[in-house]
Structure 1
Amino acid sequence: MHIHFIAIGGSAMHNLAIALHKKGYLITGSDDEIFEPSKGRLQAYGLLPNQNGWQPEQISTDIDAIILGMHAHPDNPELKRAQELGLKIYSYPEYLYEQTKDKTRVVIGGSHGKTSITSMIMHVLKTNHIDFDYMVGARLEGFETMVSLKEDTKIAVFEGDEYLSSPIDRRPKFHLYQPHIALLSGIAWDHINVFPTFENYVEQFRIFATQIEKEGSLIYYEDDENLRQIAATTSDDTEQIPYKEHESTVTDGVTYLNHDEQKTRLQVFGDHNLQNIAGAKLVCKKLGINDEQFYSAMSSFKGAARRLEILSANENGTVFYDFAHSPSKLKATTAAVKKQFSTRQLVAVIELHTYSSLKKDFLPQYKNCMDEADEAFVFFNPKNIEHKRLSPISKAEATAAFASEGLQVFTKPEELFEQLRAKNWSHKNLLIMTSGNFSGQDLKAFAKEITGDPVPFQ
């Protein structure tokens, strides 16, 4: 099989390319620009294109299928040539389904927590020596790639993103997987550029629930009103399984799961992760994992990359990094760190970087989401707003939107980090939340700078 990737450099795309290469397929690809880590990883497998740019002359009838990435445009010259030749053109979620249509598919969806829950399930299965296909949106310890596809596996575990599938397929990705076991973690409005109203956004999750295979299961977070309504409208042959957060205790900054008169020590924390664990446990049960196997595996789960990741720590404080950018994620992550370390002050910093977060009409959704922090800072780069062709935002508008007492807003990264450097960091934690990098700041170096000589986190 010869598969050609248009826009091979994307995070999901290059991982799928590597997975199919390992499966024995002939892989070619193109992109106008490829950055690290995609560039180095493609090069390591001999898949890096010889030159940047689109080369329609390399598209021929010798190609069995085209996989089209979101980074490409509908008028891409390679895409146009493939259409002229009548080649099969897939989005990457379409092709994942094509590769796993004879397997038991597990799909984890929701506005928040889906990466963590998918990672938990993957970790439990791997720890219990169960092989499976997967696609997850973050790096995970013990897994070389973010996508894996094999001939002899019987289970496929996918993170179900609600964003669009490709430039020519405007369906949300998770509409294409048709799961046997589906989980929805919660709904909080996101991707305002695609789903202009909350009602339209919720509708995508309702559609997802209707696509569960016959006699399949919908596992959902019970305290989300929208999910309760969606579950109530699923077909009669769909099993409905609600969950709440797992029972736990916190002792000396460490969270323990309470179960069967036993305690399991965790390496992750926060109410949101206790919800994630409860959902993951139900999925694993459907896959034949018993309680003993589940809890034993969870004790060694360290979390997905960029999810409350520790950048540096000493005996007086810790610097956390989290991929959080939506209001619900900011609120949950800030509350989790404050609750876990109640004797330390919390300084929380958020970079507004995504399209939704920088849209003036969406800003009020951030109201009070950082109230748990003792000090709160917001950063955005006006150039990003200009690049995304959005209406300008003033510091005053951002301050009013967050509505947290004492919150400060910065538009120059050097001014923000200069103020952070000047703080006394004794008995304080720093939580850095962003899907960007604060206009080129080295966050790991900064974290080590303010903690001095870091010691292992306890």
Structure 2
Amino acid sequence: MRTHFIAIGGAAMHNLALALHCKGDQVTGSDDAIFEPSKSRLENKGLLPQELGWFPEKITADIDAVILGMHAKADNPELLKAQELGLKIYSYPEFLYEQSKNKTRVVIGGSHGKTTITSMILHVMHYHNIEVDYMVGAQLEGFDTMVHLTEENDFIVLEGDEYLSSPIDRRPKFHLYQPNIALISGIAWDHINVFPTYENYVEQFEIFIQKITNGGILVYNENDPEVKRVAEKADNPIRKIPYHTPEYSVQNGITLLETPEGPMPIEVFGAHNLNNLAGAKWICQNMGVDEADFYEAIASFKGASKRLEKIAERANKVAFKDFAHSPSKVAATTKAVKEQYPDRKLIACLELHTYSSLNSEFLKEYQGALDDADLAVVFYSPDAVKIKQLQEVTYEQIAQAFKRDNLVIYTNPAEFKQFLFSTDFDNSALLLMSSGNYGGLNFDEVKTLIS
């Protein structure tokens, strides 16, 4: 099969390109900007475009499938040529569905936790040598790519993102997968540039439930009131399995999960991660892994990349970085670290980086999100606001939104870095939360603060 990627350099797109190449397909692609690690990974497989840009002459009638990434625009020259030739054009999720129509599709959805839950499931399967196809949003230990496709595997595990499918397909990605087994971990308003009201956002999850195949299974987090409401009111012919945060304790910085065989030490921590673990357990059981085998495997799960990832530790100091950026994720992550290290000073640093977090109307959703921190710091770049063509966000608006008198706010990357490197981290836990990099912060340098 010959496949061409328009915007091959994206995190998801380049992984799908690699997966198809490994499967034996002929893969080509274009992009106007490709960054690391996509660049090196494509280059290693001979898939890196010879030059950046869009080249309509690459689009020929013998191409079987064109896969269109969100980074491309609706007037992309290669897309226009593909449309002119009448080629089959897929969005990323549409193509994944096409590749998995004859498999049992397991789709993990939710405003938060979906990457971690998907990663937990894959870790358990890998531990027990159970081969499955998959697509996950983070690099995992023991896995070469974030996408894996075969002809023979019975199951495919898909992280179900609610963001849009492509520039010409405005449906949320997870509406296209038609799961046999689905999970919803939580609902907290996000992507306000696409879903302008909370009600509109919640509706996407209601539609997702309706897309579950008749006789399928919905596993849902009953600790989340909105998830519980949406799941319980659904009237399509599916089986519903609720889950909740299991019993656990923290002793000397180690989290012990209560199991039928007694307390079991685990690598991950925080109520939100234990809740994720409970959801993953139900999914694995419905994929044929019994409870005891699940616990045996999950004990060694260290977490997904950038999800509460420990980057340095020494004596009485520790540093984590986390992808958390939405209010619910920030609150859960901050609380988790404080609970794990109750006797240490928690220094929590949040970068406002996404469209939602830099929106003056949405900012009020962050009230209380950093309350568990002993020292709370917010960084945002006025340049990022301009690049995203958003209305200016002021220092005062941020201070008012978080409703915290001693909140520290930085808008200059150099000043934020100076703050970090002049802070005494003895008997402290440093938590860096962002989907960006604080205006160019080198995390390898940050590690030296803890050593």
- The C-alpha deviation readout for 1:310-349, integer Å capped at 9, x for no partner, is 1111101101000000000000000000001001010000
Q: Where does 1:26-425 land on structure 2 (aligned, <5 Å)? A: 26-425=26-425
CA distance in 1, matches of 2:80, 2:97: 24
Q: Tell me the SS of whatever aligns to 2:398.
A: helix
| 8 Å Cα contact 2:222-2:242 kept in structure 1 | yes
Query: AA paired with 2:56?
Result: P
Match of 2:434 in 1: 434
- Higher mean alpha-carbon deviation, 367-376 vs 224-233, is at 224-233
Shift of the alpha carbon at 1:232? 2.1
CA distance in 1, matches of 2:7, 2:421: 40
CA distance in 2, matches of 1:156, 1:235: 26
- Higher mean alpha-carbon deviation, 197-206 vs 406-415, is at 406-415
Shift of the alpha carbon at 1:420? 2.3
Paired residues in the alignment total 451
| 8 Å Cα contact 2:214-2:236 kept in structure 1 | no
CA distance in 2, matches of 1:146, 1:253: 31
Query: AA paired with 1:270?
Result: G
Distance verdict in 2 for CA 1:202–1:419, change over 3 Å: same
- Higher mean alpha-carbon deviation, 259-268 vs 118-127, is at 259-268
CA distance in 2, matches of 1:71, 1:25: 23
CA distance in 2, matches of 1:239, 1:353: 39
Shift of the alpha carbon at 1:73? 0.1
Query: AA paired with 1:96?
Result: L
CA distance in 1, matches of 2:204, 2:231: 13
Q: Which runs of 5+ in 2 are unaligned?
A: none
Normalising by structure 1, what TM-score? Answer: 0.97
Query: AA paired with 2:266?
Result: L
Normalising by structure 2, what TM-score? Answer: 0.99
Q: Tell me the SS of whatever aligns to 1:108.
A: strand
CA distance in 2, matches of 1:244, 1:80: 48
Query: AA paired with 1:451?
Result: I
Shift of the alpha carbon at 1:236? 4.6
| 8 Å Cα contact 1:312-1:444 kept in structure 2 | no
Match of 1:446 in 2: 446
- The C-alpha deviation readout for 1:181-233, integer Å capped at 9, x for no partner, is 10000100000000000000000000000000110011111022221222123
Q: Tell me the SS of whatever aligns to 1:296.
A: helix
Query: AA paired with 2:450?
Result: T
Q: Tell me the SS of whatever aligns to 1:158.
A: strand
Shift of the alpha carbon at 1:95? 0.5
Match of 1:11 in 2: 11
Shift of the alpha carbon at 1:132? 0.5
Distance verdict in 2 for CA 1:73–1:51, change over 3 Å: same
CA distance in 2, matches of 1:307, 1:223: 21
CA distance in 1, matches of 2:261, 2:233: 37
Q: Tell me the SS of whatever aligns to 2:9.
A: coil
Q: Tell me the SS of whatever aligns to 2:61.
A: coil
| 8 Å Cα contact 1:319-1:431 kept in structure 2 | yes
CA distance in 1, matches of 2:62, 2:236: 46
Query: AA paired with 2:155?
Result: I
Query: AA paired with 2:383?
Result: K
Q: Tell me the SS of whatever aligns to 1:432.
A: strand
CA RMSD of superposed structures (Å) = 0.8
Query: AA paired with 1:258?
Result: E
Structure 1 stretches of 4+ moved >6 Å: none
- The C-alpha deviation readout for 1:419-456, integer Å capped at 9, x for no partner, is 222222110010000000111110221232x113xxxx
- The C-alpha deviation readout for 1:298-321, integer Å capped at 9, x for no partner, is 011010000111111110110100
Shift of the alpha carbon at 1:413? 1.4
Query: AA paired with 2:145?
Result: T
| 8 Å Cα contact 2:321-2:431 kept in structure 1 | yes
CA distance in 2, matches of 1:446, 1:26: 42
- Higher mean alpha-carbon deviation, 233-242 vs 320-329, is at 233-242
CA distance in 2, matches of 1:47, 1:36: 14
- The C-alpha deviation readout for 1:370-412, integer Å capped at 9, x for no partner, is 0000000000000000111111111111111111231111100
Q: Tell me the SS of whatever aligns to 2:318.
A: strand
- The C-alpha deviation readout for 1:265-293, integer Å capped at 9, x for no partner, is 11110000010000000000101101111
CA distance in 1, matches of 2:346, 2:322: 14
CA distance in 1, matches of 2:247, 2:159: 25
| 8 Å Cα contact 2:92-2:165 kept in structure 1 | yes
CA distance in 1, matches of 2:189, 2:157: 24
- The C-alpha deviation readout for 1:23-78, integer Å capped at 9, x for no partner, is 11000000011111000000001100111100001111110010000000000000
Query: AA paired with 2:7?
Result: A
Query: AA paired with 1:232?
Result: E
CA distance in 1, matches of 2:424, 2:40: 39
Q: Tell me the SS of whatever aligns to 1:32.
A: coil
| 8 Å Cα contact 2:210-2:236 kept in structure 1 | no
